[in-house]
Amino acid sequence: MGALSRAEAQERAPQPVTIDLAEVGVRALNAELHAPTATSYEVLHPHGAHSIAAGVHDEIDVGVRGHAGYFCAGMNQRGRVVVDGSAGNGVAENMMSGSVRVRGDASQAAGATGRGGLLVVEGRASMRCGISMKGIDIVVGGDIGAMGAFMAQAGRLVVCGDAGDALGDSIYEARLYVRGRTGTLGADCVEKPVRDEHLAELRELLTAAGLDHDPAEFRRFGSARGLYHFTGDHGSY
């Protein structure tokens, strides 16, 4: 028997299980996602509910058809979550692996403390995007607010628009790329040269996010390593 055509493969693929949040609550939704009986889910009428698809730890697809509230896809591990709208505070907070995509905008602290995986915000992100990131990759199609990557320890943050004030404040070893303008830089954050290896990783991240910007248009920022060791000059007594 010959290989299936793309159309035939799509027809034979299991259809997503639909869960309507107008009929069941988030607790019931997440209970199903934590012990999934299917590989693909469609969540209807989210209406900004909080903690949608939090704690997913299996390789499943979750499509949220509308706006999500706080902590959507928090602690995600291996799941592939797509929000067809905007997301509230803390989307993909403490994500471990997998991917989360927000088709609209994201509120504060997107990707906070994330340890792995890829978060894509196709629109804009508010303040503290990537705060205390610990290995996550974040790609934002538009602007981010103030204090992006505050205390970021590891991972990559790519901003295709502008970045607000205090970018990278108290940063450790995360790498930041900004295509547009930046406000004031945070404590110990400096602009750094863009070398070939940085262009290569930028190209990889942009491709994963579905964006076609030229990596050469971005500037790189990182730690000056001046705050690694506390001295009396760093505090007041």
Could you report the per-residue pLDDT of 48-83, keeping only the tens digit for each? 999 999 999 999 999 999 999 999 999 999 999 999
User: Which pLDDT does position 226 carry in this prediction?
Assistant: 87
Residue with tokens 């491709």: 207
| Length of the chain, in residues | 237
213: its two tokens: 């910007």
Residue 201 structural domain? 13-211
* Pairs from 30-39 (Cβ < 8 Å, separation ≥ 24): 30/54, 30/55, 33/58, 33/60, 33/62, 33/79, 36/60, 38/14, 39/14
In a domain? residue 104: yes
Share of the chain above pLDDT 70, in %: 90
Query: Which of the four pLDDT bands, split at 50, 70 and 90, describes residue 4?
Result: very low
In a domain? residue 29: yes
pLDDT at 2 over 50: no
pTM: 0.91
In a domain? residue 156: yes
CATH classification at residue 43: 2.160.20.60
pLDDT at 131 over 60: yes
In a domain? residue 125: yes
In a domain? residue 87: yes
User: Which pLDDT does position 84 carry in this prediction?
Assistant: 98
User: Which pLDDT does position 9 carry in this prediction?
Assistant: 42
State the virtual CA torsion across 107, 112, 115, 119 in degrees, nearest 10: 10
Smallest CA-to-CA distance from 30 within 52, 45, 58 is with: 52
Counting the structural domains of the chain, the total is 1
* Alpha-carbon gap, residue 32 to 144, rounded angstroms: 34
Smallest CA-to-CA distance from 94 within 145, 131, 48 is with: 131
